[in-house]
Amino acid sequence: MTVVSDSSPLITLARIGCLDRLPKLYRHVLVSKEVYREVVISGAGLPGAEQVAKAEWIEVIAIREAEEVAQGIMQTGLGAGEVSAVICVGILEILYRRSEIADLRDAYVRLLGSKFRVDLTILQRSLEKFKLPSL
C-alpha cells in the first residue's frame, strides 16, 4: 500500500523512535517536495530530518497537497494539526495490532513527551479500545 504523508506524522514518529516501522505498514510513503524540504532542509538537525533523508522507502514527488491530510480536513472540519494527530494515533494503533510496537501506552507517553499536540481524549479512547490502562 502507498500513503501520502505530511511532515507532522514523520517528525512525530521519528521523535518517539517509530519512524523505521512505517515501511512495515506502507510499501511506499510519498511526500511532496515541500514536505521533504520542511523536514530535511529547514529541519536539519531536528528530529526526523536525518531519518527521512536516509529513508529509501520515502519517495519525494511533486504534488499540490498531502492528500490524506487534505481529505481529512474536508471530511471532518478539523484543522491540519488535529488531523495529523489522529493520523499519528491511527498509525500507532496499526503498529500495535501488528505487534510492531509492544507497548502502545508507552508510545503515547513518548508522544506526549515529544511536545506533539494531541488531545488526551483521543489517546485515552484508543487505550480503552485495546483495554489498556489509561494515561
pLDDT tens profile 8-39: 889 999 999 999 999 988 888 888 888 899 99
Residue with cell 529509501: 56
pLDDT band (50, 70, 90) for residue 76: low
The model's pTM: 0.71
Angle made by CA atoms 7, 135, 88, in degrees to the nearest 5: 20
For 63-72, the pLDDT digits (tens) are 554 565 566 5
pLDDT of residue 45: 94
% of the chain residues with pLDDT over 90: 48
How far is it, in rounded angstroms, from Cα 79 to Cα 6? 13
How far is it, in rounded angstroms, from Cα 107 to Cα 45? 23
How far is it, in rounded angstroms, from Cα 43 to Cα 21? 21
Contacts of 50 (CB under 8 A, 6+ apart): none
Backbone angles phi, psi at 28, to 5 degrees: -130, 135
